[in-house]
Structures are given as structure tokens and as C-alpha cells.
Homo-oligomer: A and B are copies of this chain.
Amino acid sequence: MADKKIYSASTTAPVNIAVVKYWGKRDAKLNLPTNSSLSPAAALSPRTPSRQTACFRELKALRKKLEDANPSLPKLSEYHVHIVSENNFPTAAGLASSAAGFAALVRAIANLYELPESPTELSKIARQGSGSACRSLFGGYVAWEMGQAVDGSDSCAVEVAPASHWPELKAAILVVSAAKKGVSSTAGMQATVNTSALFAHRARDVVPKRMEAMRAAIRNRDFERFAAHTMADSNQFHAVCLDTTPPIFYMNDVSRAAIRAIEALNTLEGRVVGAYTFDAGPNAVIYYREKDEEKVLGFLGELLAPEVAEWAGKYAKVALEGYDNKLFEALKDGVSRVILTRVGEGPIRTDDTLIGTDGLPSKK
């Protein structure tokens, strides 16, 4: 190559914790799902990932098309690409870190190549790297429409509502274990598709109705319905994992204590204050509204103390009358860390590059 110039582009991409879960591929090569899924984007920012992927080919082909149409453009499609990524989220513990990583990869290279494709178009490429990555190309409330086409051309992410439509939604993530999970999502979901007798019923009959109900709940900012569907979908996702041969368990006794705690909180308050959901790992994600933050964090602070003793002081003490404290004991030992986040923006272009002027990772 004659041109030795270095081009760089950096981006963040949000983690997303689905409230209608993706589980099961109808085409493993193209990462085409057996059902649609839906998630709020969380305001957290890994950067371009280190893992090489099939996404490259498609992004390079799109750049090549631009170059062919306009010969004055630098021939970036022929350049080597250096990728540097960092992640502020526990990886491979079922917290959607790979989704954010792949979304950031696709977004950063699309920026580098100055591709005109929309986030929805790019989501089809990100999907091939990691299914749920397609949702992390958007902020706010995002649906991954499963699509029907065999080639996957209609299986892509679309915005349900921007973050500004319902900005009150927040989340507390109880990191139960940052240990890598036992069964990878990819292996796990194929085992479920192949062996669970209940799975097809979920994909065909349950999720389509739930997607509609969830869209309506978000449109109407109806937290109660949002919460009911979020909890039911999480439980059903883990139910089909358990209905797999051999059975897949992602939740453990600590996760179960988190469920009982949120049930107790909602009962004590006499209304739905918090909603739990669990991805492919034991960590509990608790969705709640900003106006209820004191209640939720005060309550969790009581149960988790002394780990987050400052919360127990900061927020009103919640009396757990009528409950056997043993129900929640597992939380004290089992939760190692709490991450607070809120519904946030999609990928954000940044000048804070991780690549040095020599084209190599910058030293810190």
C-alpha cells in the first residue's frame, strides 16, 4: 500500500438487558432468532471489542462499494484494521457484554469507513457477530424483530421509543458472581431448541403476544405492565433452560433470594416498585422508576448491608415485618457488587481513542 496514513474511529456502545429474551436460533450461521426480543439500552460503554468476527467481511464490502463509486476516497477497504476495546462491565457472566462489544465493533468500523447505512441496516451485520448485539446499536427502547426471510434480511433492530420518551427507567444490577458461566449462550440455546418440548410453544405462541404487550407498556409508560411481563419473561426463559436435556441452570440460590426480595418489596409497598430479570447468568437486574429509587435502594441496602452500608444510611429503612429473614440471607454473602444504570443513549462517537499515533494500542 502506498498510503501509510492512519485512520481511526472510536465509539461506545450500550449494554442491553432484554426484558423479552432472545433464546434460540433458527439459523446458527446467520444468527437468526426463533423469536423477537426487546430491551432498554443501559448507559454503559464498552468500546470496540478484541474478538475478530465475520462482521468484517460485510463492512469491508460496503466500504469497497463506496470506494468504487467515488475513486477519490482513500482505499480503506484494503487497509489492515487494528481494534482496541475496553469494557467497564463484567465479561461473559451473562451481562450482555459481548452484545455491547460487537455493537461497538460494527459502529466504530462503520464510522471509520464513513458508511451511510442506518443503525437498522448495521444491526443486521452486528447480529451475525452476536445475536443480541443488534439491539446495542440503538439507545432507548429497542426491539429485535426476528424476521421471516431465510437470508436474514428482515431480522434487525428497530427503535420502539427513544430514551427521552420514558427516561425514568433505571436499573440496579446485583452482580452475583463475575465467574464465567457454565454453559455458553450459543451452546445453551441450541440445546434448548433441540430438546425442550416447551420451547417451540414459547417462541410461537407466547413471545409474539408479549412483544406487543411490552411495546404498549413502553408507549404508555405503564411500569406495572412492563414489570409483569419482564418478570414473567425472565422466568419463562429460565424455565425453557430447565426443560433442556441436560438441564441448564443460570440462576442459583442467590438469584432466587433476589426474586423473593423483590416480591417482598412489592408486597410491602402494595404496588409494583421493582421488576427483576436474569440473563444467562445468576446476576439480578432490578428495573425501577427514578421516583422509587430511595425505596428500592434503601430496601436492597438493608438486605445487602454491610456491603453497601452507605445505602442503608442514605435511604429510609424498610421494615421486613412478616418475612422470614432467612429468605434473603443468601443475598448478603452472594452479591459482590451493585451497578446502577438507567435507560440510555445508543453508541456515542468519541475522540477518546484507544489507538496511538503508531496505529498500535496506546499505553496507559
Residues on A facing B (Cβ under 8 Å): 197-198, 201-202, 205-206, 228, 231-232, 235-236, 238-240, 242-247, 249, 252-253, 256, 259, 263
Query: Which residue of B202, B231, B235, B252 is within 8 Å of A253 (Cβ)?
Result: B252
Inter-chain contacts of A228 with B (CB < 8 A): 245
Partner of A235, one of B201, B232, B236, B243: B243
Partner of A236, one of B197, B238, B253: B197
Main secondary structure of the interface of A (DSSP, over half): helix
Copies in the complex: 2
Residue of B nearest to A245 (CB): B232
Chain B residues with CB under 8 Å of A238's CB are 242
**How many angstroms between the C-alpha atoms of A246 and B263 in the bound complex?**
8
Complex: A312 Cα to B6 Cα, angstroms: 66
A-B contact pairs, 16 of them (CB 8 A): A197-B206, A197-B232, A198-B198, A198-B239, A201-B201, A228-B245, A235-B245, A235-B247, A236-B243, A239-B240, A239-B242, A242-B242, A246-B259, A247-B259, A249-B256, A252-B256
Which of the listed residues A231, A239, A252 has the most CB atoms from chain B within 10 Å of its own CB?
A239
Which single residue of chain B is at the shortest CB-CB distance from A234?
A: B247
A242 vs B236: C-alpha distance when bound (angstroms): 7
Minimum CB–CB distance from A243 to chain B (whole Å) comes to 4
A259–B231 Cα distance when bound, in Å, is: 26
